């Protein structure tokens, strides 16, 4: 009898609960985080042994949970990066923030705005940094107009170039005061404040001179407001501020607006500051705007026992940490329940696994006819991740115009999963789905984002958009504006 009991105990330890072998169950649960730990402070001090143990977890997450793994480097490059990270561990304990910075230094080569490390300080504040960064637009005060192939300022001086860059490489078209004529201004993209470029000007008499062009940070934000609002101005202006599921009532109203405004000659879709979320809501809006099929990203999703745990962590922490309307809360509860079911099902039926799923699906138009109006898509640096799908789709509509500034550039590997390193309490995020723009062979410009067709200087955004809308309603003005824009 005693021997039978010992055999039963051994079987329970080997199989775990519910007949799942203990090693399999551990592989599906060792990275999960209890919701109460989502905002728990990170460790005050992290020992060398703890850092090395957490680096082993990071290696597992990148190898089995990061959809950008194969795109970022070869096996040899990854192995070298992991070895160098282990070698960089100091001999004495450091605080969690310093460990975060060490990780950023060692994995910054990924240049991925979705791959980030953060800690929670003693007050619960999130101290986040990504392995990439946005190249902010800095705009020059000097304005130029185009005369043939030359660009001249208000005094008639021609811009010869700035440093070794010709005028076309530094000047960007702005909505001028007399559309369809455009103004042109120097725009420099930089993560930090750049030095004012030294430009060469040629006077009407042929004399050349050097001049520094002062740069100011471009600012197009209009502050906070409702998640979705619609106004006539005298054209439909749709202001969307979120694509996140906790505001489902507002998002549903946004989706419904496509059918309501598609007969207008000009529609403004304003997505400034929409910092990620679910781009399926944008897909649905464009689907209801036109009957044409639009091309979506080429996607490459990674599925594994690691990504399933990271997804559960992400949704558990979102559900426990954000305010939601009733529909949003219900959706989040269902999403958390689904994440748990997916782990349980895969654990029982598959064991540890790693597979990739590649797709290139269209966004099928469902409207009764093509969109015959003109779309003005207003973007800024706050348009990130899922929001950047709006540019991908808008540029497939005839006559659409993207205006504002460059988007954030956070899309090459999305669909976040979150992991809390068990020894330090440092968090790591990694995307589960890689994205490729089917129209851009070189890939998505991470960090730079999409450039607008027409830049705004931020002095009067509403006035500039109204002037553009009026121009686009006039066929002659619209045609002349298109000719004035660079290809």
148-207 pLDDT, tens digit each: 999 999 999 999 999 999 999 999 999 977 899 999 999 999 999 999 999 999 999 999
Tell me the average pLDDT across 315-330. 90
Nearest in space to 375 (alpha carbons), one of 480, 479, 237, 474: 237
Neighbours of 405 (CB within 10 A): 27
354-388 pLDDT, tens digit each: 999 999 999 999 999 999 999 999 999 999 999 99
Nearest in space to 401 (alpha carbons), one of 261, 294, 267, 235: 267
pLDDT range class, residue 5, cuts 50, 70, 90: very low
How far, in Å, CA of 217 to CA of 137, rounded? 6
Q: Please tell me what DSSP assigns to residue 451.
A: P
pLDDT of residue 44: 95
Query: Is residue 307 predicted with pLDDT exceeding 90?
Result: yes
Tell me if 326 sits within 8 A of 332, measured CB to CB: no
232-279 pLDDT, tens digit each: 878 999 999 999 988 999 999 999 999 999 999 999 999 999 998 999
pLDDT of residue 177: 79
How far, in Å, CA of 208 to CA of 189, rounded? 26
pLDDT of residue 80: 97
455-473 pLDDT, tens digit each: 999 999 999 999 999 999 9
Tell me the average pLDDT across 314-343. 93
Tell me if 103 sits within 8 A of 58, measured CB to CB: yes
Question: Which position has the higher pLDDT, 439 or 262?
Answer: 262
Token pair recorded at residue 215: 């740069």
Pairing mode, strands 136-140 and 182-190: antiparallel
Tell me the average pLDDT across 288-298. 97
Scanning 192-304, the segments in alpha helix (DSSP H) are 248-261, 280-289
Sign of the torsion angle spanned by Cα atoms 149, 154, 158, 163? negative
Tell me if 144 sits within 8 A of 215, measured CB to CB: no
Tell me if 429 sits within 8 A of 416, measured CB to CB: yes
59-77 pLDDT, tens digit each: 999 999 999 999 999 999 9
Tell me the average pLDDT across 317-323. 89
pLDDT range class, residue 18, cuts 50, 70, 90: low
Token pair recorded at residue 45: 């001090």
Tell me if 353 sits within 8 A of 306, measured CB to CB: no
Query: Is residue 117 predicted with pLDDT exceeding 60?
Result: yes
Q: Please tell me what DSSP assigns to residue 8.
A: H
Query: Is residue 123 predicted with pLDDT exceeding 50?
Result: yes
Tell me the average pLDDT across 70-94. 97
Token pair recorded at residue 258: 């496509």
Tell me the average pLDDT across 31-46. 96
∠ CA 99-100-101, rounded to 5°: 90
Neighbours of 147 (CB within 10 A): 10
Query: Is residue 10 predicted with pLDDT exceeding 60?
Result: no
Query: Is residue 214 predicted with pLDDT exceeding 60?
Result: yes
pLDDT range class, residue 1, cuts 50, 70, 90: very low
């Amino acid at each position: 009898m005693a021997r039978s009991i010992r055999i039963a105990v051994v079987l329970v330890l080997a199989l775990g609960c519910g007949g799942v072998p203990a090693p399999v169950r551990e592989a599906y649960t060792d990275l999960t985080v209890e919701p109460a730990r989502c905002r728990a402070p990170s460790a005050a001090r992290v020992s060398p042994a703890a850092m090395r143990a957490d680096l082993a977890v990071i290696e597992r997450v990148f190898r089995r949970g990061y959809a950008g793994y194969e795109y970022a480097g070869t096996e040899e490059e990854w192995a070298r990066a992991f070895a160098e990270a282990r070698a960089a561990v100091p001999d004495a304990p450091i605080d969690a923030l310093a460990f975060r910075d060490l990780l950023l230094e060692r994995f910054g080569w990924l240049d991925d705005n979705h791959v980030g490390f953060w800690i929670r300080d003693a007050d619960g504040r999130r101290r986040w940094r990504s392995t990439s960064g946005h190249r902010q637009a800095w705009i020059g005060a000097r304005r130029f107009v185009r005369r043939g192939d030359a660009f001249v300022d208000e005094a008639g001086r021609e811009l010869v170039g700035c440093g070794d860059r010709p005028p076309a490489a530094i000047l960007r078209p702005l909505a001028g005061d007399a559309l369809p004529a455009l103004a042109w201004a120097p725009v420099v993209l930089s993560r930090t404040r750049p030095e004012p470029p030294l430009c060469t000007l040629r006077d009407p008499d042929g004399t050349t001179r050097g001049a520094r062009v002062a740069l100011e940070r471009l600012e197009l934000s209009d502050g906070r407001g409702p998640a979705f609002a619609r106004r006539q101005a005298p054209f439909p202006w749709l202001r969307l501020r979120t694509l996140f599921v906790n505001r489902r009532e507002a998002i549903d109203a946004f989706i419904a607006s496509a059918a309501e405004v598609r007969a207008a000659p000009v529609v403004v879709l304003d997505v400034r500051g929409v910092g990620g979320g679910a781009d399926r809501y944008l897909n649905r809006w464009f689907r209801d705007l036109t009957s044409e099929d639009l091309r979506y990203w080429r996607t490459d999703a990674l599925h594994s026992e690691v990504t399933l745990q990271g997804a559960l962590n992400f949704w558990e922490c979102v559900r426990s940490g954000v305010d939601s309307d009733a529909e949003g809360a219900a959706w989040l509860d269902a999403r958390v329940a689904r994440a748990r079911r997916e782990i349980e099902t895969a654990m029982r039926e598959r064991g540890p696994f790693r597979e990739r799923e590649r797709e290139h699906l269209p966004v099928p138009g469902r409207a009764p006819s093509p969109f015959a109006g003109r779309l003005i898509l207003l973007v800024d640096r706050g348009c990130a991740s899922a929001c950047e799908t709006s540019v991908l789709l808008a540029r497939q509509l005839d006559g659409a115009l993207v205006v504002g500034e460059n988007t954030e550039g956070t899309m090459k590997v999305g669909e976040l999963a979150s992991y809390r390193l068990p020894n330090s309490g440092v968090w790591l995020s990694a995307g589960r789905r890689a994205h490729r723009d089917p129209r851009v062979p070189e890939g998505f410009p991470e960090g730079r984002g999409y450039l607008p067709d027409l830049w705004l200087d931020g002095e009067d955004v509403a006035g500039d958009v109204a002037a553009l809308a009026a121009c686009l309603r006039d066929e002659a003005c619209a045609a002349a504006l298109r000719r004035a824009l660079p290809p």
